[in-house]
Each structure stands twice: as C-alpha cells, then as structure tokens.
Copies of this chain bind each other. A is one copy, B any other.
Amino acid sequence: MNAAERLVESTRELLWERGYTGISPKGIQQRAGVGQGSMYHHFAGKRELALAAIGRTAEETRARAEEQLSGTGTSVERVTAYLRRERDVLRGCPIGRLTQDPEVMADPALREPVDRTLAWLRERLAQVLAEGRERGELDAGLDPWAVAATTVAVLQGGYVLARAAASAQPFDQAVDGVLGLLAAHVRP
C-alpha cells in the first residue's frame, strides 16, 4: 500500500475512534507510518484527508447494507439479516458517530456523505418494507417509512447504549425488541 492509501486508511480508523475534532495530522501520520512532508505532498491538510476518508466509509457502508437488503428471502427476512449482521458493536457506526462532531456538522462538504448515507438507509429499508406489504407478507396498516426510520434509529441508538454499557447486550436487546414487535405484523 502506498503512502496516500495508508494515510486515508489511518484517517478512516482515527475518525471512527475519535471523530474529526479529536484527531490531528500528526496522529494520522504516525499511524500511517508516513512523514509530515509526504502527507502534505499528497493532501492539502486534515480536511482533505477527512473528505477522502469519509467518502470511502460512506460508500462502503451503503454497499455492505445493500448485500443484506438485496438478498434472498421475504421482506422481513432481509431486514432481519441486515439487523443481525455481524457488527463490531462497541466501536459504533463510523458514519453515525460523525453526527456528534461539531466541525463535521458545520462543514457542508464533510456533512454531505453522512446525511446521504443515513437518508439512503432509511429509503432503502422503506422500499424493502413497502415491497413486503405489496406482496402481502406484511399488514397493510404498517407505515414503511416510519418503520424504516425506527429500524435505522434502533441500530444507531443500539450502538449508543452498547458503548455506554461497554457491552453488546443492550444492542442485541434493542434489535430483538424491534424484530419482536415487527413479527406481529407478518401475515400468516
């Protein structure tokens, strides 16, 4: 892996762990094993590195979700596969955590991929749920958009609870809870 590539990967890791406000060019260089001059040759500064890093993480996040959501099975089976996918729960969501960073939220270019990824997730889940309703797998009374927002919120909030508790248990409970509630809307 070349210097530019290592720098972006280090930035991705550090953004995940510490957020934009919590990282420094020096820290990125050290983790990447790249000198100062080299970093400033490839990138204009911390912000340019973050733009590249966040863009890549956003793309990856959408691609991984699409794997489960476009898989086989009923609507509810695909949502379940997405929610129960193996996750590094205590690390949290690398996109969702950026919503808590004041400098990311204040910068339209840094913010855009965060907004877009979470909006896309809600929309994609709403599609899957609407499909399930049309196929008669789910009750007609279910609101796909509301339940989609609930589902994404359970994930994001589950990470918060897990990190606070230093345990994956509350995350798993929250997922169990929403899937249990949803089960009552599956048609026989």
Contacts and interface: CB of A to CB of B under 8 A. Distances in A.
Band of interface residues on A: 35 or more
A33 interface: no
A170 B149 CA distance: 6
A136 B181 CA distance: 17
Number of copies: 2
Interface string A89-100: 000100011011
Contacts of A22: 21-22, 101-103
Given A147-B181, A154-B157, A18 B21 contact: yes
B156 A177 contact: no
B142 A180 contact: yes
Nearest to A121: B161
Interface of A: 17-19, 21-22, 92, 96-97, 99-103, 105, 111, 114-115, 118-119, 122, 142-143, 145-158, 160-161, 163-166, 170-171, 173-178, 180-182, 184-185
